[in-house]
Structure 1
């Protein structure tokens, strides 16, 4: 449900979205296409967002990665950053916040360490 919501919000904001059901599928997509931004739910089946972020970084993805998670403690934020994410949003997702953070990440020529909103 969250995946569908995020896709619809980003598409409505004018972004082109490629959707994956799990981390393994996301890594397969990365091998076939190029992406400007990756938005990961950290609680995915098969490969969670932490494993997926590390795998994408290992495969050479240097663009921004946004973590979405219901776990919003400082330790959870740090775990996302340690996995290779550049920014972190807690659930429930707020439309304006999601669009603002994605737009900011896409506008950054170099990612500031640990963008938090």
Structure 2
């Protein structure tokens, strides 16, 4: 699983929470670093914050789709309703969850898009 989140505390909490479920997580503090990691490794799922320095969630999502990525991209934001999420869906995001990420919220989003992790990395 690829995680892009600029807030160190939220990144750590997400890693801990999802790690308890057995997820292997590569996390980065901005979209630019996450994109570079994506280009050199394989992932089953992307979780990305919207507001990040260097490259935000919109830009990361567009860049991943431009590279031909077909994997689910789940946006993470405090604003899960409105124009922001509509634009993100146009960029190629599959779903959204509100902060903070919990295993339950992630599972609900995965169920909504019909994704079954097969040893998600």
Alignment TM class, shorter chain as reference: 0.7 to 0.9
Deviation at 1:103, TM superposition (A): 6.3
Is 1:12 aligned to residue 20 of structure 2?
A: yes
C-alpha contact (below 8 Å) 1:66/1:87 kept by paired residues: yes
* Greater relative CO (CA pairs within 8 A, separation 6+): 2
Give deviations 1:11-43, integer Å, cap 9, x for gaps.
Answer: 111111011110000010011101100000111
Distance 1:104 1:17, change over 3 A: farther
Is 1:31 aligned to residue 24 of structure 2?
A: no
Deviation at 1:71, TM superposition (A): 1.5
Counterpart Cα distance in 1 of 2:44 and 2:97: 18
C-alpha contact (below 8 Å) 1:71/1:90 kept by paired residues: yes
| TM-score, reference length from structure 2 | 0.79
Large movers: runs of 4+ above 3 Å: 92-95, 102-106
C-alpha contact (below 8 Å) 1:38/1:65 kept by paired residues: yes
Unmatched 5+ stretches in structure 2: 1-8
The root-mean-square deviation of aligned C-alpha atoms, in Å, is: 1.9
| TM-score, reference length from structure 1 | 0.82
